[in-house]
């Protein structure tokens, strides 16, 4: 069976119509790829449209303040992607000014790895480089009934070689899109629709009844548990906040005063004895966070916080980029503040 030909034919009849597939502009394709890393299409679609509308050129993205980019990104998570996106735009704008569309040049950009470079290069310029993302790993592992773990060095090398061998060099972009779309729509992690698969007759895992065992991974990374206590010091419609600068989660995002259990950050005396207003659980890739929020009314401005905390109006605070737990706290507590 000519697997690539069957996949391409299926893709042309069944693909989702998405704006980044209707362009060969490497900049727009790059935006979509960075946004869709670890993000579902349904969630990423609106973000892509807002980014293209706000920053239609790489020069405009490069010139934007990082705070503005992070605010536009807010809600997507994995904020390092937004910081690297901004840094890559600045690198392009300060260089040739033209967004690259060749694999070798794309690999020089921060935040662009082999998969992203291959996707942009094949979609934008037709360069014959094979993509291997989560969907492609799954399709290949089942199609050839491969027991090698996809998160091992040997596994990654083997799957890339196999993807390279299957690639149709004359229609690289179409082939890559077809492989990815098959994994997204048919060869799904759970409840795959094998009766609708255009290459089911060639699927070794289907023949061997091992679909549910493919792909295989070595194992899970231990999840770190963290207990975070946020104190909202309220004086009229003003609060005290700061921008995270430590080498930790949510770098460059803004937050309330934080005391984390297990560290030596003190609880200000004004907050002692205050009960939490609500607690919010939030899961990151390798961390489980339990965030408690405390409202601390003040009769005079607070002076006991570190110098990096700034006094800010609630209205101005809404313009800052924040992580999801802080966003949820803002939503819940907005009624306590004037919006005039």
pLDDT digits (tens, 9 = 90+) for 238-263: 999 999 998 899 999 999 999 999 98
pLDDT for res 340? 57
Q: Which of 143, 114, 167, 166 is nearest to 215 (CA)?
A: 143
CATH 1.10.340.30 assigned to domain 3-128+155-184? The reply is yes
SS3 readout for the chain: CCHHHHHHHHHHHHCCCCHHHCCCCHHHHHHHHHHHCCCCHHHHHHHHHHHHHHCCCHHHHHHCCHHHHHHHHCCCCCCHHHHHHHHHHHHHHHCCCCCCCCHHHHCCCCCCCHHHHHHHHHHHHCCCCCCCCHHHHHHHHHHCCCCCCCCCHHHHHHHHHHHHHHCCHHHHHHHHHHHHHHHHHCCCCCCCCHHHCCCHHHCHHHHHCCHHHCCCCCCCCCCEEEEEEEEEEEECCEEEEEECCCCCCCCCCEEEEEEECCCCCCCCHHHCCCCCCEEEEEECCCEEEEEEEEEEECCCCCCCCCCCCEEEEHHHHCCCCECHHHHHHHHHHHHHCCCC
Domains of the chain, by residue range, sit at 3-128+155-184, 224-336
Average confidence (pLDDT) over 228-240: 97
Q: Please check the confidence at residue 113 and state whether its pLDDT lies above 90.
A: yes
Among the four given CATH numbers 3.40.980.10, 3.90.79.10, 3.30.413.10, 3.40.50.300, the one describing domain 224-336 = 3.90.79.10
pTM: 0.89
pLDDT digits (tens, 9 = 90+) for 178-191: 999 999 999 999 99
pLDDT digits (tens, 9 = 90+) for 160-209: 999 999 999 999 999 999 999 999 999 999 999 999 999 999 999 999 99
Catalytic residues: 33
């Amino acid at each position: 069976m000519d697997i690539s030909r069957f996949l391409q034919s299926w893709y042309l009849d069944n693909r989702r119509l998405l704006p980044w597939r209707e362009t060969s502009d490497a900049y727009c394709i790059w935006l979509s790829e960075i946004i869709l890393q670890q993000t579902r299409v349904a969630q990423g679609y609106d973000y892509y449209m807002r980014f293209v509308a706000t920053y239609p050129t790489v020069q405009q993205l490069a010139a934007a303040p990082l705070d503005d980019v992070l605010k536009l990104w807010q809600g997507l998570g994995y904020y390092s992607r937004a910081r690297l996106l901004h840094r890559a735009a600045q690198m392009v704008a300060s260089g040739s000014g033209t967004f690259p569309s060749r694999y070798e040049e794309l690999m020089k950009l921060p935040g662009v790895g082999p998969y992203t470079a291959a996707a942009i290069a094949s979609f934008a310029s037709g360069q014959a480089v094979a993509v291997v993302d989560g969907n492609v790993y799954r399709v290949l592992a089942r199609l050839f009934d491969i027991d090698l773990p996809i998160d091992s060095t040997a596994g990654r090398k083997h799957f890339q070689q196999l993807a390279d061998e299957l690639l149709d060099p004359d229609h690289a972009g179409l082939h890559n899109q077809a492989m990815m779309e098959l994994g997204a729509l048919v060869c799904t992690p759970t409840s795959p629709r094998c009766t609708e698969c255009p290459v089911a007759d060639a699927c070794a895992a289907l023949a061997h009844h091992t679909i549910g065992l493919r792909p295989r991974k070595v194992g899970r990374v231990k999840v770190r548990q963290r207990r975070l206590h946020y104190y909202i010091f309220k004086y009229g419609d003003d609060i005290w906040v700061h921008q995270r600068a430590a080498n930790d989660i949510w770098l460059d995002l803004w937050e309330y005063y934080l005391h984390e259990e297990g560290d030596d950050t003190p609880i200000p005396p004004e907050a002692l004895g205050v009960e939490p207003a609500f607690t919010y659980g939030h899961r990151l890739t390798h961390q489980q966070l339990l965030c408690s929020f405390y409202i601390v009314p003040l009769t005079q401005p607070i002076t006991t916080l570190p110098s990096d905390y700034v006094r800010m109006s609630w209205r101005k605070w809404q313009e800052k980029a924040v992580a999801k737990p802080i966003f949820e706290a803002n939503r819940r507590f907005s009624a306590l503040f004037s919006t005039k």
